Amino acid sequence: MTKPNWTIRSQIAQALGKVDGPSRAVVPPIHVTTTFIRDPDNQYRSGNVYGRADNETAREAEGMIATLEDAKAAFVFGSGMSAAVAVFLALAPGDHIIAPRVMYWALRGWLMKDAASWGLETTFVDMDNLAAVEAAIRPGQTKLIWAETPANPTWSITDLEGVARIAKAHGARLAVDSTCATPLLTRPLDFGADIVMHAATKYLNGHSDVLAGALATRAVDDFWARIQRNRAAMGLILGPFEAFLLIRGMRTLSLRVEAACQNALELALRFANHPQVVEVLYPGLATHAGHAIAKRQMKGGFGGMLSVRVRGGEEAAIAAASRVELWKRATSLGGVESLIEHRASIEGPDTPCPRDLLRLSAGIEDVEDLYKDLDRALRSA
């Protein structure tokens, strides 16, 4: 049983301290069954009916995520996208959504191109501008505000308390993509959010070997029940082996996030004065527009993600990325390895991302090696 006086770090390191009953194993087992025995009176008192909706290994992962977020409940999904889309599909046709102009590009693309076919309308705003959020409200129609902070890939910061006040005043829910902050740095429910989403593929798993998503909720209400029904109907639950790997990854979350934050801050400080860098985008820098809010919302660090804008524009940025050796040119973030990517060419012509921007996911390597590798690449480009 979880001990009330354990810190979150201790609880997560021990996967909530549970020991498997029959085997006495300290590592949670993998439950791969797809069907379950009914009780003699035809009931399912175990809570498990069928594998499309129920899995004990998935529930172990959900318990850890709910603990991390201090949430009433959590669900895991087969990807971050499936978790996010499940929130939007719990809305009703005709509902209006406010979303960030800068956000995870795949979800932004779904909102731009596909949400309308479900009867949903979306307005994109600069989410770091509370006046713009307020102005976008459609009284009686706006049912969801979707925020992402820090926002990928420019790392702008949303004032969660401010947006939560706007949402509450107009009868809307606030959902927050907190993938890059992780629950160790920011817990959006503490600031008034209703639902938190994680692309668990990233920091929660942390080893670039699992596709997973997660939602955590402030209240187990009718909206949460609709999300649950959608997950069951569409078969969106995370598979048991993937849930096992996610649990394994979360047990080292505090160590990995701490190392990534330290590396990212050191790199941001160094590259802020680099002759080949026009600007460093990182909320941990005092020059960042959202630094004061980030300092209030983010405890223990400012995240492992930063971006650099390269002198010489898009051509120089791509050339620099082509010359790195330790950094790996790859999509994704939050793993133990450091990744670099020219985002604009990935996101396409409608991207709000500057063409000279390189997105950096700081891993846990030696920061001196990381700096020297990118420094050499920038200078040679």
As a whole number of angstroms, the distance between CA 376 and CA 187 comes to 38
Phi, psi torsion values for 280, nearest 5 degrees: -110, 130
Q: What angle do CA 305, 306, 311 make, to 5 degrees?
A: 155
CB 265 within 8 A of CB 286: no
Q: What angle do CA 208, 334, 179 make, to 5 degrees?
A: 115
* Residue 72 annotated in active site: no
DSSP calls for 221-240: SHHHHHHHHHHHHHT-BPPH
Q: Which of 54, 128, 159, 177 is catalytic?
A: 177
As a whole number of angstroms, the distance between CA 83 and CA 368 comes to 37
> How many angstroms separate the Cα of 129 from the Cα of each of 123, 161, 346?
14, 13, 26
As a whole number of angstroms, the distance between CA 121 and CA 112 comes to 9
As a whole number of angstroms, the distance between CA 143 and CA 329 comes to 39
Q: Which of 108, 143, 173, 202 is catalytic?
A: 202
Phi, psi torsion values for 370, nearest 5 degrees: -65, -45
CB 107 within 8 A of CB 347: no
CB 367 within 8 A of CB 265: no
Q: Which of 104, 108, 159, 373 is catalytic?
A: 104
* Residue 52 annotated in active site: yes
In terms of DSSP bridges, do strands 173-177 and 121-125 run parallel, antiparallel, or are they unpaired?
unpaired
CB 371 within 8 A of CB 365: no
* Residue 177 annotated in active site: yes
Q: Which of 18, 52, 355, 376 is catalytic?
A: 52
Strands (E), the chain: 73-77, 96-100, 121-125, 142-148, 173-177, 195-198, 213-217, 277-281, 305-310, 328-329, 339-342, 357-361
Give the length of the chain.
Answer: 381
Amino acid at 72: K
Angle between helices 222-234 and 80-89 (to 10 degrees): 130
Active site residues: 52, 104, 177, 202
